[in-house]
């Protein structure tokens, strides 16, 4: 699959643009603040029906304007497809595939698979457990519709259960049967989510190790450990055991919404030990593993967005990464850089079809 044409209107600092891409490598070149990441974000938007950076769409409209529009024309499984999103302040967002609006936006997820590698990935290491759950969910949901559905239902049930706990408190009442209805649903959806997360991580580990070894040329072992209270026993028993505590704190204290992912290198958490370059290498390997996982899980090679890829890496590692992405296992790639000489050196080595777009103050030249 590849994006052939991107048409934009008033998205962040980009007033208007029309870009024709090549199926392999596309580079956005420009100074800091030019709009390279914003362009990446529009491509992300078309795959996920939302911005990678800002979920508040009014803030994604170019300052002083009332609406934005993003349209992409793709070649997907030998068919041309058009994805178009429009948002106007005060109106609901329109999101269409071949002129047809979706019934639910979640139906779109996974049809145009994409992996974004960006400096903000570091939040996986520095952020709270919800970032790491989001990572797992984001990957699995891209090819497993039932997973996404289970997750949405689990979260809705969780919200309802928490509301009920608050209602008990406010009305000084309690009804175990009412709670049991929600528990049953949490157990049903939670158990399947837990199973799939476990499988996903188990499959990711060898890919992750392979990419890490390749880029770092080292012998360290990367550790990905999925941590869930559901590993400690029956979920329903845990809900029952936590009932009094839940009633006291007014929310559900146990379940897959508390899961975490331990990220380690050798015997230590990467958070404690990694230098900036090591951390970046670690995250890159993890995201390349995500790419490989998605590629193998579906029938479509995901689009790969590489934002500020070379920042903080030494020449050896940059060389390894170029060697890696030049490989045929990747499909269409978008890359940003601020330095033309640097980019030229990279492209020289890639020996692949490419196109360069110069970005200047929100304009594509
Ligand atoms: N809604 C908006 N309206 C107008 N401009 C915006 C809006 N949102 C963000 N911007 C501007 O877009 C610019 C940032 O663009 P972007 O992050 O794409 O830069 P970049 O080319 O990736 O730079 P760097 O090399 O530093 O990563 C900033 O100057 C920011 O103020
Ligand atoms: Mg940027």
Please give the model's pTM, rounded to 2 decimal places. Answer: 0.92
Q: Which atom of ligand 1 is nearest to the CA of 36?
A: 21
Q: Which atom of ligand 1 is nearest to the CA of 61?
A: 1
Domain assignment present for 42 = no
Q: Which atom of ligand 1 is nearest to the CA of 39?
A: 18
Which token pair is 115?
Answer: 């992996």
CB 332 within 8 A of CB 2: yes
Instruction: Write out the residue range of the structural domain in which residue 218 sits.
Output: 122-299
Nearest CA to ligand 1 atom 29: 33
pLDDT tens-place values along the chain, 365 residues long:
999 999 999 999 999 999 999 999 999 999 999 999 999 999 999 999 999 999 999 999 999 999 999 999 999 999 999 999 999 999 999 999 999 999 999 899 999 999 999 999 999 999 999 999 999 999 999 889 999 999 999 999 999 999 999 999 999 999 999 999 999 999 999 999 999 999 999 999 999 999 999 998 877 899 999 999 999 999 999 999 999 999 999 999 999 999 999 999 999 999 988 788 888 899 999 999 999 999 999 889 999 999 998 887 887 888 888 888 888 889 999 999 998 887 887 788 777 889 999 999 999 98
CA distance 333 to 340: 18
Domain assignment present for 106 = no
Domain assignment present for 189 = yes
Domain assignment present for 283 = yes
Residue 276 sits in a domain of what CATH number?
1.20.1050.90
Ligand nearest to the CA of 116: 2
List ligand 1's pocket residues with C-beta within 6 A.
12-13, 30, 32-38, 59-63, 308, 338
What pLDDT, on the 0 to 100 scale, is given for residue 100? 97
Domain assignment present for 165 = yes
Q: How far is the CA of 120 from the centre of ligand 1 (A)?
A: 15
What pLDDT, on the 0 to 100 scale, is given for residue 34? 97
Nearest CA to ligand 1 atom 15: 35
Domain assignment present for 156 = yes
Domain assignment present for 182 = yes
CB atoms within 10 A of CB 85: 22
Domain assignment present for 293 = yes
What DSSP assignment string belongs to 289-353?
Answer: HHHHHHHHHSSSPPEEEESSTTTT--HHHHHHHHHHHHSTT---EEEEES-HHHHHHHHHHH-S-
- Half-sphere exposure at residue 276, Cβ-oriented, CA atoms within 13 angstroms: 6
| Of 287, 288, 266, 284, residue with least CA distance to 276 | 284
CB 321 within 8 A of CB 345: no
For the chain, the domain total comes to 1
């Amino acid at each position: 699959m590849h994006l052939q044409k991107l048409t934009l209107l008033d998205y962040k600092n980009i007033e208007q643009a029309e870009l024709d891409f090549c199926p392999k490598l596309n580079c956005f070149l420009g100074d800091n603040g030019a709009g390279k990441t914003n362009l990446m974000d529009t491509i992300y938007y078309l795959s996920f029906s939302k911005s990678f950076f800002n979920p508040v769409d009014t803030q994604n409209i170019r300052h002083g304007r009332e609406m934005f529009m993003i349209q992409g024309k793709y070649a997907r499984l030998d068919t041309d497809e058009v994805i178009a999103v429009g948002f106007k302040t005060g109106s609901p967002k329109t999101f269409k595939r071949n002129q047809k609006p979706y019934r639910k936006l979640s139906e779109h997820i996974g049809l145009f698979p994409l992996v974004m590698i960006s400096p903000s990935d570091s939040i996986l290491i520095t952020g709270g457990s919800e970032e790491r759950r989001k990572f797992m969910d984001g990957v699995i949901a891209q090819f497993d519709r039932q997973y996404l559905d289970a997750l949405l239902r689990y979260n809705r049930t969780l919200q309802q259960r928490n509301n009920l706990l608050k209602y008990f408190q406010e009305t000084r009442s309690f009804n175990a049967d009412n709670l049991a209805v929600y528990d049953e649903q949490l157990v049903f959806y939670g158990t399947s989510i837990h199973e799939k997360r476990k499988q996903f991580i188990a499959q990711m580990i060898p890919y992750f190790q392979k990419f890490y070894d390749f880029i770092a040329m080292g012998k360290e072992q990367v550790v990905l450990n999925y941590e869930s209270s559901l590993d400690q026993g029956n979920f329903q028993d845990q809900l029952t055991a936590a009932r009094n505590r839940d009633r006291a704190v007014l929310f559900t204290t146990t379940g897959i919404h508390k899961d975490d992912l331990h990220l380690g290198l050798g015997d230590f958490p990467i958070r404690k030990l990694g230098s900036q370059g090591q951390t970046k290498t670690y995250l890159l390997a993890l995201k390349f593993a995500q790419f490989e996982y998605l590629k193998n899980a579906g029938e479509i090679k995901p689009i790969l967005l590489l934002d500020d890829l070379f920042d903080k890496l030494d020449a050896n590692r940059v060389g390894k990464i170029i060697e890696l992405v030049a490989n045929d296992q990747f499909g269409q790639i978008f890359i940003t850089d601020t330095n033309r000489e640097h980019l030229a050196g990279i492209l020289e080595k890639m020996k692949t079809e490419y196109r360069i777009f110069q970005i200047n103050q929100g304009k594509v030249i």
